[in-house]
A and B are shown apart, each in its own frame.
Chain A
């Protein structure tokens, strides 16, 4: 079993839709959770960072962590074509980031 599992998609939605991206993890000791956005041929960009269960909101983005289920989510409201990218969840474990496979999102105008 991989330490972090993420459905690679691709996920295609119409502009304005609410997007839900998810990851599961196996080690309950993990405490820090991040979401990165990566455009094609670019480095990942940190979107959200959280360390506790619950929700964290930043503009159109909401990160959700459920430690009891070992499940993390990223919600994008009012999705835009510019949100089309690969979204990677990452979890801090023993000083290193462990990445999910990444979900490719396409938002169609």
Chain B
């Protein structure tokens, strides 16, 4: 149980285009999902907290107009990187908190590797 999927697993795009990444909890409901970014050989950096049916809460320094987050259902959150630039190239990972489990247990997706040319 507690499986989180992400799609796509890898995407390459041209500078200036927008990219949408989906995060799904497959076998549990998640009122809260989190989006992280990870640069090579570095730890995970929280970008935003996404609550179903409400606006996401962004961490300091993360541009909310650039990283659009939508959490329309209890099993799906999306991250759209708008007008992507090469410096946005990174590994994006989502996690979901199991609403029916311990309040602080997060399950992570497999990640999406974004390369902006």
A residues touching B (Cβ–Cβ < 8 Å)? 8, 32, 34, 36, 41-46, 49, 88, 92, 95-97, 99-102
- Identify 5 new A-B residue pairs, CB closer than 8 A, beyond the known A96-B34, A96-B46, A100-B43: A8-B41, A43-B93, A43-B109, A46-B108, A49-B105
Q: Which 10 A-B pairs have the closest CB atoms?
A: A43-B108, A92-B104, A99-B43, A43-B110, A32-B104, A43-B111, A44-B108, A101-B43, A99-B44, A43-B93
Provide a sorted-by-A list of 7 A–B residue pairs whose CB atoms are within 8 angstroms.
Answer: A41-B113, A42-B111, A44-B44, A44-B108, A49-B102, A95-B49, A97-B46
Once the chains are docked, how many angstroms separate the CA of A44 from the CA of B106?
10
Report whether over half of chain B's contact residues are helix, strand or loop; otherwise say mixed: strand
Given contacts A88-B44, A101-B43, A96 and B107 within 8 Å (CB-CB): no
B residues touching A (Cβ–Cβ < 8 Å)? 4, 6, 34, 41-44, 46, 49, 91, 93, 95, 102, 104-111, 113
Once the chains are docked, how many angstroms separate the CA of A102 from the CA of B44?
9
Question: How near does chain A come to B71, taking the closest CB pair, in angstroms?
Answer: 15
- Give chain B residues whose Cβ lies under 8 Å from the Cβ of A34: 105
Chain B residue with the shortest CB-CB distance to A95: B49
B43-A88 in contact (CB<8A) = yes
Question: How near does chain A come to B69, taking the closest CB pair, in angstroms?
Answer: 15
- Give chain B residues whose Cβ lies under 8 Å from the Cβ of A45: 108
Once the chains are docked, how many angstroms separate the CA of A42 from the CA of B102?
24
Once the chains are docked, how many angstroms separate the CA of A41 from the CA of B42?
12
B46-A102 in contact (CB<8A) = no
- Give chain A residues whose Cβ lies under 8 Å from the Cβ of B111: 41-43
A41-B91 in contact (CB<8A) = yes
Chain B residue with the shortest CB-CB distance to A4: B43
- Give chain A residues whose Cβ lies under 8 Å from the Cβ of B110: 42-43
